[in-house]
Structure 1
Amino acid sequence: MSGRLHELSQAGVSIWLDDLSRTRLESGDLARLIDEASVTGVTTNPTIFANAISASQAYDSAVAELGAQGVDVDSAIESLTTADVAEAARLFRPVFDSTDGDDGRVSIEVAPPLAHDAAGTIESAKALWQRVGEPNAMIKIPATEEGLRAISETIAAGISVNVTLVFSLSRYRHVVEAFLQGLEKARAAGHDLSTIRSVASVFVSRVEAEIDSRLDALDDPAATELKGRAGIANCVLAHEIHSQLFTSERFKVLELAGARPQRLLWASTGVKNPDYADTMYVTGLVAANTVNTMPEPTMEAFADHGEIADEITPEDYRAADELFDALARLGIDYAEVMTVLEEQGLEKFDVSWAELQDTIRTALDRS
């Protein structure tokens, strides 16, 4: 499985697995992916944990113990998920050390009901950071308007953050602003900026699917020609923004104090349309110092037949701009699309969180 993935890694793309379970940890499967597939990190979310816990008996003894202690459902979820993340972080510690903290990262997300509660998110982020207790953890915070303040304050406390559910380019600019403000506050508070890392997770396939569905509804040959291009184009323009903001004088001051740039992470890279190449969101998004977080089927597909294209260039920026101009001429409202996607993303995590709570509640009752 290693050849093409190793080449991708050599091109400067960090490969993170979009999955985690106690079964992967106990079976040695995650260790195998580190050794054989150049995997250098892991991301998690409520859906991943809901699937992991409902589909495996690996959690039964831990749930029984928690039930005997009389813990509530949310406390049980925190106990189970932070234990998995801490164990994975220890497994990735050699990667973390060898990359000077850039990789070897394992992310855990604050509870979805906190998405519009800045103060609650900050409190939860600090609690999760302490509970995991490993320097290579990352706390995932959604890029809602309320989440932006939480992102800034969490980074200001010296905590590494994975900013998730980033869709629009304007919101991405605000995410970078929150990151920079957080670093400035962290420096003022005396934190070592070199220990703070962040990624901004820009979603790919969900953008594609939403815009494609709107193009299909137009029943226009011109619309058909634009299908399957918006997801990558949106990421390409985020890359352009990144190249501008992290070469600014403002960031250079922070860099001199030890700060590292917030990296772009391509999320939701599993291709939803079977008519498209199953590796398109890997091949089309090769850029040094980025992260591609993949579900295992995408990783296996790329290992089997993926190709490494040229890196993103200024010519790609111009082509992406032209694409969104063409979409606008057809009546595709970019801002409205991105608002819908954020709302849908939050709703999906709320549903998964409720399913996870139900799963744990049932298991605790049985114990």
Structure 2
Amino acid sequence: MSEKQYKSPLHEMASTTPTDFWNDSCSISELQYALEYGAVGATTNPVIVGEVLKKEMHLYKDRIKELIQEMPTATEDDIAWKLNEEMAVAGAKLLYPIYEQTKGQKGRISIQTNTKYYRNAELMTKQAVHFGNLAPNIQVKMPTTKAGIQAFEEATYHGVSINATVCFTVPQALAVAEAVERGLKRREQEGKDTSWMHPVCTIMVGRLDDWLKVVADRDGIIVDPECLEWAGVAAMKNAYRIYKERGYRTQLLAAAYRNHHQWSEFIGADMSLTIPHKWIKRFNHSDITVENRIDKPVDPKIIEQLTKHFPDFNKAYQPDGMTVEEFDTYGALSRTLLQFLAGYDELVRMIRDVMITVK
């Protein structure tokens, strides 16, 4: 296929490199668009589900009303989770041919456990196993908290392909990979198949940048402004290098887009990129060249400034920057958990507004 025959830069990347991309949404129309350009997966969370409802409530309101009738004693939370599951299953159907063709290594959609369980490994694992039974190509997202690390191992042992989310740092990514390895080993020791499993670990690259910008404002730190656009990329590249050296079976996944570096700098990697619809369209219409950049290091001067001025960058960048016990108090994690919890509350409110109508 000649260069002119590629539909877009993303299509060229998907066609010519090992780097995959997903649609960072459970919207069927957005997923269909992404599939046309080579997407091989999709993902969702409470915030995304709420955003889809805000844009496409006309597509779901009748179904919500049906669920309310079908589940006469259900709470608004019950209805919200049932709708969440149905949206994930609908996306899974679109992706199933890819899943089957690649023997489980692509073609999955992620659904996220209840954020309120972030401190409870048992509840996360139980819900993950339930979600894993909704469709063969479901992937289950859980936050990379202290309890989440335990849940990743247990869910993997039970045959769930996990997606570690609320993750921003190299230490978190390494802890996830080690937990998955333990779960896979336990499963294989009992003679259970793991060949179709495909665990991934998300690094929310843009959210690490966001956090360091908050810290810069809070502490009055002055650095070259572009440094704050590269922290997440630097952490991801460092994690990727270590993953390859250690041969982990977990695949890294980049999320939380703020600029094109968070796509273009990862081209050529054996990695997935979960990209929101608006950024898919922007990348598709860009003139960014598709070339291998994953092994190109971030400018050492940028790393030097970030290392000198931001202890929280060192926590994120260095493999031993944090212990598992410190994950729950890392600033980017706290902020993201609060947003996800607020997003869930907003989703439930929208369901409530349909359930309780003032005439």
* Equivalent in 339, 344, 352 of residue 361 of structure 1: 352
Give the direction of change, closer, same or farther, for the CA distance of 1:244–1:49 in structure 2 (3 Å limit): same
- Separation of aligned partners in 2, 1:218 and 1:229: 19
Alignment of 1:199-278 (within 5 A): 199-215=200-216, 218=220, 220=222, 222-224=223-225, 226-246=227-247, 261-269=249-257, 271=258, 278=259
TM-score (norm 1): 0.85
**Of 341-350 and 53-62, the range deviating more from structure 2:** 53-62
Give the direction of change, closer, same or farther, for the CA distance of 1:62–1:183 in structure 2 (3 Å limit): same
**Aligned equivalent of 1:258:** none
- Separation of aligned partners in 1, 2:25 and 2:146: 27
- Separation of aligned partners in 2, 1:312 and 1:226: 18
Q: Does 1:4 align with 2:6?
A: no
CA contact (8 A) 2:264 2:293 kept: no
What is the aligned-residue identity percentage? 23
**Aligned equivalent of 2:323:** none
* C-alpha RMSD of the superposition: 2.2
CA contact (8 A) 2:46 2:112 kept: yes
Runs of 4+ aligned structure 1 residues displaced above 3 Å come to 212-220, 222-225, 322-326, 335-338
* Deviation of the 1:239 alpha carbon: 0.7
- Separation of aligned partners in 2, 1:333 and 1:60: 43
Q: Can you give the 5+ residue segments of structure 2 that lack an aligned partner in the other structure?
A: 1-5, 317-326
Give the direction of change, closer, same or farther, for the CA distance of 1:106–1:230 in structure 2 (3 Å limit): same
**Aligned equivalent of 2:270:** 289
- Separation of aligned partners in 1, 2:11 and 2:224: 37
* Deviation of the 1:52 alpha carbon: 1.8
- Separation of aligned partners in 2, 1:294 and 1:102: 18
Cα deviation, 1:192-232, whole Å, max 9, x if unaligned, reads: 11021111000111111222344466464x54463322121
Q: Can you give the 5+ residue segments of structure 1 that lack an aligned partner in the other structure?
A: 252-260, 272-277
CA contact (8 A) 1:16 1:291 kept: yes
Cα deviation, 1:303-349, whole Å, max 9, x if unaligned, reads: 11132242322x627x56x6444323225433677810011111110
3-state SS of 1:200 partner: strand
Q: Does 1:141 align with 2:146?
A: no
- Separation of aligned partners in 2, 1:227 and 1:334: 10
3-state SS of 2:34 partner: helix
* Deviation of the 1:180 alpha carbon: 0.4
Cα deviation, 1:252-290, whole Å, max 9, x if unaligned, reads: xxxxxxxxx211100102x1xxxxxx4221111123320
* Deviation of the 1:154 alpha carbon: 0.3
Give the direction of change, closer, same or farther, for the CA distance of 1:364–1:329 in structure 2 (3 Å limit): same
* Deviation of the 1:238 alpha carbon: 0.9
* Equivalent in 308, 311, 316 of residue 290 of structure 2: 308
- Separation of aligned partners in 1, 2:106 and 2:353: 37
- Separation of aligned partners in 1, 2:162 and 2:26: 18
* Equivalent in 20, 25, 45 of residue 14 of structure 1: 20
Give the direction of change, closer, same or farther, for the CA distance of 1:122–1:363 in structure 2 (3 Å limit): same
